[in-house]
C-alpha cells in the first residue's frame, strides 16, 4: 500500500510517472473481445482460441515437455492432455518420447501445425482489425512485440523464429 495516487502534489520525489497505469483490466477486456470474435473465425479451422494459444507458445518455445507447457500456460496438466490430444488428432503437434527421459513427452509443432497456425492468424486479421482498430500498423507491431516479449519471459530478440517454420514459399 503506497500512496495510492498522485494526490495533492506534495509527493517527495517519487517520479510517479507510470503511476497507477495497470494494464490488467485492459488486457482482460481486449482479450475477451478478441476471443469472442476468434471463436467463430476459428471454428471452421477446427480450432479454438486456447488451441491457438498453445500452438503459439509451442512455436515460440520449441520442444517442450508437457508439464513445462502446463507451467507456461498455467493450466492444470490434466487439461493439457486433452488440449494436446485435440491437436495431435489433427496432426498439428507431435508427441515424441524424450530420449533422455523416456517418461517425458516432448511436444513439438509439426509442419502442418505451423501452417495451420499461420492460416489461423491470417484468418484472425479481420477480428484483430475490429478490436485493435484504433491502432495503426506500426502501433500494432509494437503491441505485438511487447506482448511477445512479456509472454516468453525475458526474451529480448527472438520474436522471429516465428516465420521460420512454414514459409517454404
Partner DNA sequence: AAGGATCGTCTGTGCAGCACAAACTATTTA
Partner DNA sequence: TAAATAGTTTGTGCTGCACAGACGATCCTT
43 binds DNA (CB under 7 A): no
How many residues at the interface with DNA, by CB under 7 A? 28
Among positions 34, 75, 162, 165, the unique one binding DNA when judged by CB under 7 A:
75
Q: How many CB atoms lie within 10 A of CB 158?
A: 11
For DNA, the closer of residues 56 and 66 by Cβ is 66
Q: Is there binding between residue 56 and DNA (CB under 7 A)? A: no
| Cα–Cα distance measured from residue 121 to residue 119, given in angstroms and rounded to the nearest whole number | 5
What track of x and - describes contact with a copy of itself for positions 119 through 158 (by CB under 8 A)? x-xxxxx-xx--xxxxx-xxxxxxxx-xxxxxxxxxx---
Strands (E), 54-99: 64-65, 93-97
Given 2, 12, 76, 102, the residue binding a copy of itself (CB under 8 A): 2
Size of the site for a copy of itself (CB under 8 A): 78
Q: Count the helix, strand and coil residues of the chain and give each as a percent rounded to the nearest 5.
A: 55, 5, 35
Asked if 117 contacts 52 with a C-beta cutoff of 8 angstroms, the reply is yes
Residue 82 near DNA by CB under 7 A? yes
Contacts of 164 (CB under 8 A, 6+ apart): none
CB of 141 to DNA, least distance (A): 27
Residue 79: CB atoms within 10 A of its CB come to 12
- d(Cα 113, Cα 2) in Å, to the nearest integer? 47
Contact status: 29 vs DNA (CB under 7 A): no
Residue 6: contacted member of DNA, a copy of itself, none (CB under 5 to 8 Å, by partner type) = a copy of itself
CB-wise, 79 or 142, nearer to DNA? 79
Amino acid at each position: 500500500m503506497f500512496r495510492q495516487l498522485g494526490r495533492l502534489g506534495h509527493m517527495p520525489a517519487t517520479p510517479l510517472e507510470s503511476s497507477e497505469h495497470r494494464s490488467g483490466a485492459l488486457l482482460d477486456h481486449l482479450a475477451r473481445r478478441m476471443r469472442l470474435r476468434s471463436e467463430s473465425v476459428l471454428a471452421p479451422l477446427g480450432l479454438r482460441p486456447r488451441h491457438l494459444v498453445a500452438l503459439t507458445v509451442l512455436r515460440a518455445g520449441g520442444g517442450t515437455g508437457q508439464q513445462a507447457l502446463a507451467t507456461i500456460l498455467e493450466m492444470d496438466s490434466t487439461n493439457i492432455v486433452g488440449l494436446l490430444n485435440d491437436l495431435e488428432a489433427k496432426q498439428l503437434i507431435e508427441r515424441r518420447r524424450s530420449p533422455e527421459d523416456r517418461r517425458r513427452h516432448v511436444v513439438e509443432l509439426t509442419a502442418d501445425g505451423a501452417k495451420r497456425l499461420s492460416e489461423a492468424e491470417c484468418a484472425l486479421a479481420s477480428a484483430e482489425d475490429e478490436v485493435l482498430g484504433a491502432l495503426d500498423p506500426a502501433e500494432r507491431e509494437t503491441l505485438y512485440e511487447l506482448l511477445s516479449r512479456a509472454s516468453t519471459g525475458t526474451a529480448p530478440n527472438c520474436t522471429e523464429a516465428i516465420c521460420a517454420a512454414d514459409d517454404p514459399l
